[in-house]
Amino acid sequence: MDTENRINHEEYQFFIRANTLTIDRETQFPNPFPIWLPETRWDQMSELIRMADYRFLRDSFDQFPKDWKEW
């Protein structure tokens, strides 16, 4: 896939290192679901949201909180 330019390297690196991310909590959005979403998972999601193709997720959390909890 790499030789065919079908890999987004930013996304690939994120998923490879998701458990070892260094989180900048000063610029992190607040966890919208602190009761049921662990901070470690929110840290990872926050870093994902910083990528252009995943920015829509931030609005999705606000618009569909019940769906996110169910999922």
- In the chain, domain spans: 1-23+38-71
pLDDT, tens digit, for every residue of 17-66?
Answer: 877 777 778 888 889 999 999 998 898 888 888 888 999 998 998 899 89
Residue linked to tokens 């991310």: 21
What are the start-end ranges of the H helices in 1-71?
9-17, 39-49, 56-63, 65-70
The verdict on pTM exceeding 0.85 is: no
Handedness of CA 55, 58, 60, 63 (dihedral sign): negative
